[in-house]
A and B are shown apart, each in its own frame.
Chain A
Amino acid sequence: MSKITIPLGPQHPALKEPENFMLVLEGEQISGATVNLGYNHRGMEKAAEERTYIQDLYLIERVCGICSHSHTTCYITNVEELAKAETPKRALAIRALFGELERVHSHLLWLGVAGYEMGFETLFMYTWRDREQVLDCLELLSGNRVHYSINTLGGVRRDITAEQKAEVLKRIQYLKERTNYYIKLATEEPTVLARTQNVGKLPLDVAIERGAVGPTARASGLARDVRKDEPYLIYNELDFKVITHDSCDVFGRLVVRALELVESYKMIEQILNNLPEGPIAVKVPMRIAPGEAVNHYEAPRGEDIHYLKSNGTDKPERLKVRAPTLANLQSVAYMLEGGWLADVPLVIAAIDPCMSCTDRAAVWDPKKGKTQVYGWEELRKMSIEQYRRRGVDFTRL
């Protein structure tokens, strides 16, 4: 059979973000794959050199729409290391709390995307509905659903009250029950098993060689987790397990993420129940002492590493950011080879490349010439009204 090469992306319905895969096909089977990137390059490392350390915080938060807290925490750890700032324990605990809430929201999002890619849209609806619970927690604590902006140089910007703690714990309890159901689903449901087992294989030695990180690496039996290996924030005081799986396929990645949710709930409860007393921030000077620092962080998708060099001014000399997806994409090419065309979206989604979301809509009315922002209640009312006009009544939902 003759070989044909087809491009998948950069714009493709199966991809959530712009990236390009050149697939060499023999019939329906893939015999070669190359990954091409750069469609989303925004020149942030250069931009960071022209901003002050505190301005960079807001820039770095926008590296990713899902792991915004991961990037700022990694960046800020470097800045505080160079400034020799003694960040209060309570601030570190709050950062870790946000880190775990973010992991829960990211993993639930992924579970939905995986369900969607395997043709199991009910799972997608379920997990994204439940994900609202954790987004509500984040909004309650920080005021924002996605870019929480909780970090500041020397600490965090908001404290946690007793009422907030009770509300978060209540929602975590609900998520725990739901997650038990997802674990059962992921490990027993025949459609899920048929669709994920032996798909997108990544053997342990290849995972190491290609530098895979996070759940992708852990599902190939590589027990690597920065939270355990080089504990940052307060992770050395938390009780949690590193979840690994040795099936080396999409099924393993599914199980690892589902079980990691349980570990994150455990950690969230531990942090909230043992929140250290004290201040939430210390002052850090505008100018940072000259020096170099490198730190890594276990983001929901894997190891995130930042390098920072300061020259004594209020702006960094060089900032390097390597997000986990870049480390994992070299493994995707391997996973695709030898597989089937129909599995491509699922295999790509299985490393969890990221996207952004928000529930508020700003509508510009050209007739009135003004912008109006709609909240959840208004949007809900409008949708119910629209369906009523079509003869369907959702009022009681």
Chain B
Amino acid sequence: MTDLAREEKVKSDIEARFAGAVSNALVQRRNRVWLEVAPEKLPELMAWLKAEGFDHLATVTGFDEGENLGAYYHATDTKMIVNVKVRTPRANPSLPSVLASFPGALSYERELEDMLGIKIAGLPPGRRYPLPEDFPTDQYPLRKDWKFVPPANETEAK
């Protein structure tokens, strides 16, 4: 078994600093730390991770768990990946923006809004991404209940 001292330290540092807000913290294997945080603490945690050297937000993965929607924020120093999970109720999905610490996350956050319908508080105005301009604004393709229905006027190539 490899030595997981650094992973354990990151995990316990986060748990100590964000006591009460962090749950399900787990060192999965070498270089992989997973944890869940309360949405209101997300920007603060991301800013802390950045200051600790995890200054590259590799991507944000949105997901649909049924009752809740949510996202994983994969922060890394390219060696270790810290996967921060946040959940928000499906009835009124909303997450705070992390642009203050990670300006490069703009397209990832727009994708959460477009593909899963999670409102991102603090996102600057701008064109939607990645769906086309004429895509219905009340449909979210990455939600589990969304099914692709071909448009009625689509003609088959002969």
A209 on the B face (CB < 8 A): yes
The answer to whether B78 touches A305 (Cβ under 8 A) is no
The answer to whether A46 touches B105 (Cβ under 8 A) is no
B137 on the A face (CB < 8 A): no
The answer to whether A307 touches B74 (Cβ under 8 A) is yes
The answer to whether A296 touches B58 (Cβ under 8 A) is yes
What number of A residues sit within 8 Å (CB to CB) of B?
35
Out of A34, A210, A292, name the residue touching B126 (CB < 8 Å): A34
The answer to whether A294 touches B32 (Cβ under 8 A) is yes
The answer to whether A224 touches B78 (Cβ under 8 A) is yes
A3 on the B face (CB < 8 A): no
A339-352 CB mask vs B (1 if < 8 Å, else 0) is 00000000000000
B127 on the A face (CB < 8 A): yes
What is the CB-to-nearest-CB distance from B99 to chain A, in angstroms, rounded to a whole number? 11
Which chain B residues border A209 with CB–CB below 8 Å? 102-104
The answer to whether A320 touches B129 (Cβ under 8 A) is no
Which chain A residues border B58 with CB–CB below 8 Å? 211, 296, 303, 305, 322, 327
The answer to whether A320 touches B131 (Cβ under 8 A) is no
CA–CA, A309 and B81, complex, Å: 16
The answer to whether B55 touches A208 (Cβ under 8 A) is yes
Which chain A residues border B61 with CB–CB below 8 Å? 307, 318, 320
B18-54 CB mask vs A (1 if < 8 Å, else 0) is 0000000000000110100000000000000000000
CA–CA, A122 and B154, complex, Å: 45
Which chain A residues border B127 with CB–CB below 8 Å? 36
Q: Output the residue of B56, B102, B148 with the most chain A CB within 10 A.
A: B56
| Chain B contacts with A in 57-77, Cβ cutoff 8 A | 57-59, 61-63, 72, 74, 76-77
CA–CA, A119 and B103, complex, Å: 34
Known: A36-B127, A229-B79, A305-B59. A330 touches B104 (CB 8 A): yes
| Chain A contacts with B in 4-60, Cβ cutoff 8 A | 34, 36-39, 41, 43, 45-46
CA–CA, A38 and B108, complex, Å: 12
The answer to whether B56 touches A208 (Cβ under 8 A) is yes
B10 on the A face (CB < 8 A): no
Out of A39, A46, A211, A303, name the residue touching B102 (CB < 8 Å): A211
Which chain A residues border B146 with CB–CB below 8 Å? 46
The answer to whether B74 touches A211 (Cβ under 8 A) is no
Which residue of B is nearest A213, CB measured? B56
Sample (9) of A-B pairs whose CB atoms are under 8 Å apart: A41-B130, A45-B142, A46-B141, A208-B55, A211-B104, A294-B32, A296-B76, A307-B61, A326-B107
Closest 7 CB pairs of A and B: A211-B104, A38-B130, A322-B59, A320-B61, A41-B130, A229-B78, A210-B104
